[in-house]
């Protein structure tokens, strides 16, 4: 394994263990053993736990690697919709991208819940470094469309919270509480389409 591959392995192993045992219940020794390396190797890649937490946040926020921006900047359809003021395409692609990411990384969803319940610093750091940027990005789009007369006057951040609330509640049901989909069995395309329409109908001028 190259150094980068080993680092990624340790990072993913740490996220999986944190998501199952919490931060208090996971030690660097456990991470090392599950990764098949020595504890010294873990500290070689992540000198402190703070550095490991920062790497987890960066991995989730940027996904593809160093310097590649937030996930929405990696979605050409979304950025094209943002540029053209295509409301349906903007909210549809944002919803689909978010829900796909949730399903692809269930361990991180569980980890975030653990960090909030344990009042761990990771929850605050993720909110400050990632969630707040999402509010700025989506809220900024809504403000622009309000100035252009497309959306009625309403607090953009309340709209963002309503939109994110739909996405997160749906994902939590699918991956944690209703994994057999007894309440709702719908794919990301359908759900993203309906959520986008519901939101736009609610704020259209």
- Any idea where the domains of the chain sit in the sequence? 3-47, 70-203
Mean pLDDT to the nearest integer, 118-129: 75
For residue 68, the model assigns a pLDDT of 46
Q: b or e along 47-85 (b: 16 or more beta carbons within 10 Å of the residue's beta carbon)? A: eeeeebbebbbebbbbeeeeeeeebbeebeebeebbeee
Q: Retrieve residue 171's tokens.
A: 């994902």
Mean pLDDT to the nearest integer, 71-88: 89
Write down the CATH number for the domain with range 70-203.
Answer: 1.10.357.10
For residue 190, the model assigns a pLDDT of 96
> Could you read off the pLDDT of 33-75 as tens digits, one per residue?
999 999 999 999 998 877 887 787 777 665 544 444 466 777 8
Report the distance separating Cα 158 and Cα 39, nearest Å.
45
Inform me whether the pLDDT recorded for 98 exceeds 80: yes
For residue 93, the model assigns a pLDDT of 95
As a whole number, the mean pLDDT across the chain is 86
User: Candidates 1.10.10.60, 1.25.50.20, 3.40.50.970, 1.10.3720.10; correct CATH number of 3-47?
Assistant: 1.10.10.60
Q: Determine the number of helices (DSSP H) and then strands (DSSP E) in the chain.
A: 11, 0
- pTM surpassing 0.85? no
């Amino acid at each position: 394994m190259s150094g980068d591959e080993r680092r990624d392995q340790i990072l993913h192993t740490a996220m999986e263990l944190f998501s199952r045992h919490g931060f208090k219940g996971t030690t660097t020794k456990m991470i090392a053993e599950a990764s098949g390396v020595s504890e010294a190797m873990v500290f070689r890649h992540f000198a402190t736990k703070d550095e490991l937490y920062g790497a987890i946040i960066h991995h989730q926020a940027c996904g593809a690697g160093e310097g590649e921006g937030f996930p929405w900047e990696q979605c050409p359809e979304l950025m094209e919709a943002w540029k053209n003021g295509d409301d349906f395409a903007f909210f549809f692609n944002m919803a689909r991208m978010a829900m796909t990411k949730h399903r692809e990384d269930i361990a991180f969803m569980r980890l975030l819940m653990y960090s909030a319940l344990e009042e761990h610093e990771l929850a605050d750091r993720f909110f400050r470094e990632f969630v707040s940027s999402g509010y700025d990005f989506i809220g900024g789009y809504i403000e622009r469309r309000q100035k252009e007369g497309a959306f009625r006057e309403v607090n953009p951040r309340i709209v963002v919270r309503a939109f994110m609330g739909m996405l997160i509640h749906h994902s939590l049901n699918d991956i944690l509480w209703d994994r057999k989909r007894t309440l709702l069995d719908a794919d990301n395309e359908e759900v993203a389409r309906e959520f986008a329409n519901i939101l736009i109908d609610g704020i259209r001028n």
